[in-house]
Structure 1
């Protein structure tokens, strides 16, 4: 009986030490970043023109917006996107490509908004939305953004897709 108890206790000790061993793995935690995001996030052109002003702030990054003419980042507003011309898209992409790299603002994001006028059950609307997302990702890459900031809060009355 004593041998069984010792074996049982040894197995408990071994199990506990294996669990604790996982807890002891040390790794570098991701560095925290302070990103400026507000309703006043700048359009790409404004950011380009005022980069030195933005670099005076204590932020590691900033959120950038597409112009209203280029869809404003409202990826689910499919009717509005129909009015965006290829020339406007190309100009926005070219502008994003021309951004100078900042030594201070190294973690910028392109913001996309969640207001909607699409039919959520329409394959055609989803195809348009996918096209808009791909375009926005292209602009983010051209601007050397770290990624996309998704703002799901709709600000336009009657355009809330989450109801």
Structure 2
């Protein structure tokens, strides 16, 4: 196939030049078009050791929005470690949901609810995964009520480490490869 194409290009030198010029022109036009588009603005989101709760945000949002950020990350009381065997009682989050619903954002447009990686669950337990799904549903509902962009997953384990194979519930009877496959 290459030989046929080569013969064709050698036999038609003008075609080769036109093809090269056409490709160069297309590349140049694409570069010019991209250069004319303004870059997407970067946003600065506040997140630190002092992660606030929704009630604090609701009560202090005007002062908080004086800071040089476009958004923040907040957490739910007793609601950051979702990777647990225990299903949360949604009724215990009623006040939290009300606080989330009543945050009056003005300047902060890119806000998130924090979810931490610490885990007591068994990766191979369907019941544990059901608890995680349930708990994440509560966090997602709070984020939706607060009109957040989404959730912030903090992969650093502040507690039981889900990334440590030797600490896992079934590390004695499940291989590392089995855990790796399950985690993916």
Range of TM-score over shorter length? 0.7 to 0.9
Query: What is the CA distance between 1:2 and its match in structure 2?
Result: 7.4
Does residue 13 (structure 1) correspond to residue 21 (structure 2)? The answer is: yes
- 1:113-156: per-residue Cα shift (whole Å, max 9, x none)? 11111111111111211121122111001011122111111011
Does residue 116 (structure 1) correspond to residue 116 (structure 2)? The answer is: no
Does residue 137 (structure 1) correspond to residue 140 (structure 2)? The answer is: yes
- 1:83-131: per-residue Cα shift (whole Å, max 9, x none)? x323212222122112223x22221111111111111111111121112
* CA distance in structure 2 between the partners assigned to 1:77 and 1:124 by the alignment: 10
- Residues 85 and 127 of structure 2 are in contact (CA less than 8 Å); yes or no, is this contact kept in structure 1? no
Change over 3 Å in CA distance of 1:25–1:125 after alignment to 2: farther
Residue aligned with 1:78, SS: coil
Alignment correspondent of 2:128: 125
Alignment correspondent of 2:99: 95
Residue aligned with 2:66, SS: coil
Alignment correspondent of 2:64: 54
Query: What is the CA distance between 1:28 and its match in structure 2?
Result: 4.5
Alignment correspondent of 1:23: 31
Query: What is the CA distance between 1:60 and its match in structure 2?
Result: 0.8
* CA distance in structure 1 between the partners assigned to 2:126 and 2:24 by the alignment: 52
Larger strand proportion of the pair: 1
Alignment correspondent of 1:76: 83
Query: What is the CA distance between 1:18 and its match in structure 2?
Result: 2.7
* CA distance in structure 2 between the partners assigned to 1:19 and 1:89 by the alignment: 56
State the Cα RMSD in Å: 2.0
The structure number with the bigger radius of gyration is 2
Alignment correspondent of 2:46: 36
- 1:18-57: per-residue Cα shift (whole Å, max 9, x none)? 3443333344543211100112110111112222221221
Number of residue-to-residue matches in the alignment: 154
Residue aligned with 1:91, SS: helix
TM-score between both structures, scaled by the size of structure 2: 0.74
